[in-house]
Amino acid sequence: MLVCPYHHRLHHRGGITITGPAHQLIVTDKTGKRLLGGSLARPPTTAPPDVPPCAGPTGERADWWWYQPFQPQPPPKVA
């Protein structure tokens, strides 16, 4: 069975379980609910919102003086 990296890690963390022979695999979540194949995404049923289009980039040069990249902090230590 081929799974994406996200679901591979989820399986090893216990978030999903994969059981059964190769031709009849059963995937369940951590509560035991069976997960069926297929996307949960559905086509939109309403018109898009009535908003003006994005103006896009202005073409000005980036002023890197004000740029501060995100620097994640280490998790707090548990006593």
pTM higher than 0.75:
no
pLDDT of the residue at 30: 93
Instruction: Give per-residue pLDDT as tens, 21-69.
Output: 989 999 999 999 999 888 878 888 999 889 988 887 888 888 888 888 8
Confidence of residue 75 (pLDDT cuts 50, 70, 90): confident
> Where are the domains positioned within the chain?
1-38
As a whole number of Å, the end-to-end CA separation of the chain is 41
CA distance 10 to 60: 43
CA distance 19 to 69: 44
